[in-house]
Amino acid sequence: AGAAPVRVLAIAKLKCLRYLVRTFGVRNLLSVLLEHGPSAYLARAAKFCANWGVPEAHRPATLSALSSWAREVGLLSALERAELTGRGGSYLRFLEPCLEGRGRQHAASSPADAGRSEKLRGYAMLLVNLTGAPLPPEDLAAYGRGLLPLARRGGGGGGGKLQPGTVATTDFPPGGRLLNTGVPTLVLVLPPRDGVDSRWRKMYERCAGLESVGAGLKGRVFRGLSPAQWDEAVKG
Do residues 94 and 156 lie in contact, with contact meaning Cβ atoms separated by under 8 Å?
Answer: no
Residue 76: what pLDDT?
A: 83
d(CA 149, CA 38): 8
Residue 32: what pLDDT?
A: 92
pTM score of the predicted model:
0.66
Which residue from 185, 189, 231, 225 is spatially nearest to 209, judged by alpha carbons?
A: 189
Cα distances (angstroms) measured from residue 151 to each of 14, 42, 95, 166, 234:
32, 12, 24, 10, 23
Residue 93: what pLDDT?
A: 85
Mean pLDDT of 14-28: 83
pLDDT digits (tens, 9 = 90+) for 68-110: 898 888 888 877 888 887 666 588 888 888 888 777 776 655 5
d(CA 30, CA 134): 31
d(CA 209, CA 170): 17
Q: Evaluate if residue 6 carries a pLDDT over 50.
A: no
